[in-house]
Amino acid sequence: MISLTIDEKKIEAPEGATVLEAARLAKIDIPTLCHDPRMKPHGACRLCIVDIAGLPRPVTSCTTPATDGMVVTTTNPRLERLRKTTVELLLSDHPNDCMVCIKAGDCTLQNLAYKYAIRESRFKGAVRQHNRVDNNPFIMREQDKCVLCGLCVRVCDEVQGVGAIGYANRGFESDICPPFKNELNCEFCGQCVSVCPTGALSAKMWAGQPRLEGMENTETTCTYCGCGCNITLHSHANKVVRVSSRSDNHNRGWLCVKGRFGYEFINSKDRLTTPLIRREKGGKLEPATWDEALDLVVAKMSAIKEQHGADAIGGLASARCTNEENYLFQKLMRVGIGTNNVDHCARY
C-alpha cells in the first residue's frame, strides 16, 4: 500500500493504482467521460484533470499512477473552469436534443451539463453533420452525438478482440467508423452500445420504447448458454424492453448479441407458456397442465423401457443449461432410466 494526500485527506491505495482509482476508493468524486475501469485509461476527455504538487500543469488522474507521498488537489476554481470549458466545448458540437434523445436521464454528458449549469455555450459554431446510420439489424449510430471518448473503439478491441471500428479523419472532423467507412459489419455484440456515454450508439429495438428512467428492473440470469451471465431485464408495462448487465457481476457487464438483443421471445405471442399434448393421432397440440404432461411422459417412457429395454431411450441435453443441470440430466438418464444414451447438443 502507498499513502497519498488527496484534497487534504490522507489516503491509502494499493500499489499501481492511478490517482483516479485512489480518489474513488476514498469516495472522492472526479468527473470522467472517457473512463471505464474495465479498460485501459485513455486520457482523452480531460475532465478528470487534477493538480499534483510539483507538476507544472494539471494532469489526467485516470492515466497518472499514484505515488507514495503525492499531494493531489481534485478541485479548485482553475480546474473547475477548465472542466466547464471542456463540457461547454462538447455541447457546442452536440445536437442538444435531449428532449427526443433516447439517452436522456442516463447520459453522462447531460449530467455534466447539469453539474456545470451550462444553459448556453459561449462557443457557438460549426456542428458536425452526420446522418443517423442504422443499416444493420441491431445498432443505431448517431455520430453527431459522439464525444470521441473512444470507449466503443476500446471495448471492441480490448474486450471483444474484434476491432470492427476505429478512428478516421483529423481535427474537428475526426470520427469513429468501420474500416473505409463501410457499413457496420460485426458480430453485433453491442458492447459498444453498452459503454457509450451519450446517445451516439443505441439499439435499434430501443427506439420509441420508454427510456431507462422509471423502468422496472429485474436481476436475472441469461438463459442462452451455460455461461450464466447476469443480466438486468428492464420492463415497462409488464413487457421487457431492454436488457443490460451490471459491471459488478461475474461477467463484468459484458454480454453477447443474444443476451443483449435477443429478448423479444420473452413477450412473444409464439412463446410456449404451458405444456402441449397431441391427444390423438393427427390431432392438434392442445394446452395441458404440467401434471398431465409429466404423467404422460412417465407412462410412455416406462412403456418403452418395458417393451424394448432402457437402451431404447436416449437423452439430449442443452447447451443452454448449466453444468449442474446437465449433471442432473445425465443422472436421470443413467440412474432413473438406466441407459448411458445421453449426449449434448454442443457435440455436433
Partner 1 sequence: MNSEIIVNVCMGTGGIAAGAEMVMTAFKEEFEAAGVKNARIEERCRLHKVGCRGFCARDVLVDINVDGEVSTYQYIQPEMVKRLIQDHVIGKQPVTEWLVGDDYHVFHDNQTKIVLADLGKINPESIDDYLGVGGYTAAKKALTTMTPAEVIVTVKNSGLRGRGGGGFPTGLKWSLCAANEADQRYVICNADEGDPGAFMDRSVVEGNPHAVIEGMIVTAYAIGASIGYVYIRAEYPLAVDRLRIAIAAARERGYLGKKLFGGQFDFDVKIKLGAGAFVCGEETALIASIEGERGMPRAKPPFPANKGLWGKPTIINNVETLANIPPIINKGAEWFASIGSEKSKGTKVIALTGKIRNTGLIEIPMGMPLNDIIFKIGGGIEGDKLFKAVQTGGPSGGCIPQQYIDLPVDYEGLKSVGSMMGSGGMVVLDETDCMVNIAKFFLQFTQDESCGKCVPCRIGTKRLLEILTRITEGKGKKGDIELLQELAEDVRDSSLCGLGMSAPNPVLSTIKYFRHEYEAHINQKKCPAKVCNKLLTFFIRQDMCVGCGMCLKACSVNAITGEKKQPHHIDNTLCIQCGSCFDVCKFSAVIKD
Q: How far is the CB of 51 from partner 1 (least distance, A)?
A: 11
Residue 172 CA to residue 130 CA, distance in Å, equals 13
163 Cβ neighbours under 8 A, 6+ residues apart: 156, 157
From the list 16, 77, 171, 208, which residue makes contact with partner 1 (rule: CB under 8 A)?
Answer: 171
Half-sphere exposure of 202 (CA within 13 A, CB side): 21
Contact status: 57 vs partner 1 (CB under 8 A): yes
Q: How far is the CB of 11 from partner 1 (least distance, A)?
A: 20
Contact status: 165 vs partner 1 (CB under 8 A): no
Residue 173's closest CA among 95, 93, 107?
A: 93
Distance (Å) of CA 289 to CA 90, 266, 268, 301: 59, 20, 21, 18
Helical segments of 61-219, H only: 77-92, 108-115, 151-154, 191-195
From the list 26, 39, 89, 304, which residue makes contact with partner 1 (rule: CB under 8 A)?
Answer: 89
DSSP state, 204? G
Contact status: 193 vs partner 1 (CB under 8 A): no
Contact status: 169 vs partner 1 (CB under 8 A): yes
Residue 203's closest CA among 124, 137, 116, 112?
A: 137
From the list 17, 147, 159, 256, which residue makes contact with partner 1 (rule: CB under 8 A)?
Answer: 147
Contact status: 150 vs partner 1 (CB under 8 A): yes
Task: State which residue, 72 or 147, has the beta carbon closest to partner 1.
Answer: 147
Using CB under 8 A as the binding rule, the residues of this chain from 286 to 305 that contact partner 1 are: none
Contact status: 63 vs partner 1 (CB under 8 A): yes
Contact status: 95 vs partner 1 (CB under 8 A): no
Residue 247 CA to residue 268 CA, distance in Å, equals 28
Contact status: 202 vs partner 1 (CB under 8 A): no
Task: State which residue, 77 or 214, has the beta carbon closest to partner 1.
Answer: 77
From the list 2, 7, 38, 65, which residue makes contact with partner 1 (rule: CB under 8 A)?
Answer: 65
Q: Which cell goes with 125? A: 459554431
Q: How far is the CB of 45 from partner 1 (least distance, A)?
A: 6
Contact status: 181 vs partner 1 (CB under 8 A): no
Residue 224's closest CA among 256, 192, 193, 252?
A: 256
Q: How far is the CB of 33 from partner 1 (least distance, A)?
A: 8
Residue 209's closest CA among 237, 247, 189?
A: 237
Q: How far is the CB of 114 from partner 1 (least distance, A)?
A: 18
Contact status: 59 vs partner 1 (CB under 8 A): yes
Q: Which cell goes with 100? A: 427526443
Three-state SS at 202: strand
Contact status: 166 vs partner 1 (CB under 8 A): yes
Whether the CA torsion 228, 232, 235, 241 is positive or negative: it is negative
Contact status: 52 vs partner 1 (CB under 8 A): no
Inter-residue contact 219 to 207 (CB < 8 Å): no
Contact status: 58 vs partner 1 (CB under 8 A): yes
Phi and psi, residue 217, nearest 5°: -110, 130
Contact status: 45 vs partner 1 (CB under 8 A): yes
- Interacting stretch for partner 1, rule CB under 8 A, among 79-87, 226-234, 290-298, 313-321? 79-87
Using CB under 8 A as the binding rule, the residues of this chain from 257 to 276 that contact partner 1 are: none
Residues near partner 1 (CB under 8 A) are 41, 43-46, 49, 57-60, 63-65, 78, 81-82, 85-86, 89-90, 92-93, 122-123, 125-126, 147-148, 150, 166-167, 169-175
